[in-house]
């Protein structure tokens, strides 16, 4: 079963059951190692060796997905050795869990970290009202509360231009696009996303297509861009790789750690679902997974440095002809 569950996600399909198997690769790897060692301690006949060989192959495959998101790998998004205060920008992302009513924990966290940008997801009207104290600290905001666990609230210390809440593929799943104007007048394009997740009985096609559509927009923008949110996809999935290749965005997780944000209550079942991607115009000043605030997600905090020399220090992903074909197919699967 572990061998089958390891290789099944390699099949090109939108079936939710299959795509969900992408998530627990670390858990599968640990289970495979334990089973393989246990088997060889008990039996070493031909059938046991064949089975152990299959588990070893599955373990190597799982490791190939996980290792790029550990400190033993080379970083993709390079670190800023120093950064002038005027070039720094910090962002806090939190899927609050709509049923969570510990509003004060979220407010205290935001007050303690004092980020420049705040993106809150799964927010309903109760969360919008409870976050009213943020309006004094963050004069610019976009509030789209919803009762279906797909509401969003966005707060910014910087001026916003043309903020737009869009429903790219599903009429009840919003996303945000806005320009952020920095103190020197430069504009940064920001996308806030929370696509619907795949699960048994629910296709991954809408999520995959939404990520591809935003990736194309990022590629067309060409200027400084940040994409953030609960993407309901793990860092090592082929959809995330496709998003990066099409958009040319960098993933600060690569070479640093998993920063697993879900599930906050179950240490044995965690994977990285909340993401920040950004263009080559930024260097990374810091990234942290913060403490539990009553949600099933941990908050993620990222600080970037807008550095003129950043593009020369980093190599961005590039899309192949096959990537563009997969992107077209992902959108056609929904349309």
CA distances from 117 to 32, 139, 182 (A): 41, 11, 12
**What pLDDT score does 85 carry?**
85
Helices then strands, each counted (H, E), the chain: 11, 11
Query: How confident is residue 124, by pLDDT bands cut at 50, 70 and 90?
Result: very high
Q: Are 307 and 83 in contact (CB under 8 A)?
A: yes
The pair of three-digit structure tokens given for residue 22, joined into one six-digit string: 């992408």
Entry pTM: 0.96
244 pLDDT higher than 90: yes
Digit-coded pLDDT (tens) for 246-255:
999 999 999 9
The pair of three-digit structure tokens given for residue 16, joined into one six-digit string: 């939710």
234 pLDDT higher than 90: yes
Q: State what percent of residues in the chain have pLDDT above 70.
A: 100
The pair of three-digit structure tokens given for residue 303, joined into one six-digit string: 């600080």
The Cα–Cα gap between 186 and 224 comes to: 9
Look up residue 271 and give its DSSP letter.
B
The Cα–Cα gap between 206 and 196 comes to: 7
92 pLDDT higher than 90: yes
The Cα–Cα gap between 318 and 146 comes to: 36
Digit-coded pLDDT (tens) for 22-46:
999 999 999 999 999 999 999 999 9
132 pLDDT higher than 90: yes
Q: Are 283 and 310 in contact (CB under 8 A)?
A: yes
Look up residue 199 and give its DSSP letter.
B
**What pLDDT score does 199 carry?**
85
CATH 3.30.1280.10 fits 85-331, yes or no: no
Domain boundaries, the chain: 2-69, 85-331
CB atoms within 10 A of CB 34: 12
Digit-coded pLDDT (tens) for 267-307:
999 999 999 999 999 999 999 999 999 999 999 999 999 99
Side-by-side strand order, sheet with 117-121: 140-144, 152-156, 117-121, 88-95, 300-306, 282-289
């Amino acid at each position: 079963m572990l061998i089958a569950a390891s290789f099944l996600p390699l099949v090109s399909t939108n079936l939710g059951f299959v795509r969900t198997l992408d998530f627990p690769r670390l858990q599968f790897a640990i289970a495979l190692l334990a089973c393989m060692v246990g088997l060889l301690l008990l039996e070493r006949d031909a059938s046991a060796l064949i089975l152990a060989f299959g588990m070893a192959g599955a373990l190597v495959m799982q490791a190939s997905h996980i290792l790029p998101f550990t400190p033993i790998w080379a970083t993709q998004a390079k670190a800023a050795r120093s950064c002038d205060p005027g070039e720094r920008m910090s962002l806090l992302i939190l899927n609050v869990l709509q049923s969570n009513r510990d509003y004060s924990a979220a407010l205290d966290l935001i007050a303690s970290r004092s980020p420049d940008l705040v993106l809150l997801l799964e927010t309903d009207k109760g969360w919008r009202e409870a976050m009213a104290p943020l309006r004094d600290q963050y004069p610019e905001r976009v509030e789209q509360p919803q009762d279906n666990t797909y509401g969003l609230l966005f707060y910014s210390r910087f001026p916003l231009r043309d903020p737009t809440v869009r429903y790219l593929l599903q009429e009840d799943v919003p996303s945000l696009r806005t320009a952020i104007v920095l103190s020197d007048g430069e504009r940064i394009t920001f996308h806030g996303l929370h696509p619907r997740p795949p699960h048994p009985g629910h296709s991954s096609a809408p999520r995959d297509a939404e990520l591809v559509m935003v990736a194309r927009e990022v590629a067309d923008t060409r200027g400084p861009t940040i994409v953030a949110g609960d993407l309901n996809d793990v860092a090592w999935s082929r959809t995330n790789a496709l998003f990066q290749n099409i958009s040319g965005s960098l993933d600060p997780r690569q070479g640093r750690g998993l920063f697993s944000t879900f599930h906050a209550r179950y240490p044995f079942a965690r994977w990285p679902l909340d993401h920040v991607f950004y263009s080559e115009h930024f260097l990374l000043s810091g990234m942290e997974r913060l403490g539990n605030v009553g949600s099933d997600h941990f908050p993620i905090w990222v600080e970037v440095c807008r550095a003129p020399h950043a593009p020369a220090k980093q190599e961005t992903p590039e899309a192949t002809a096959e990537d563009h074909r997969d992107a077209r197919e992902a959108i056609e699967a929904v349309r």
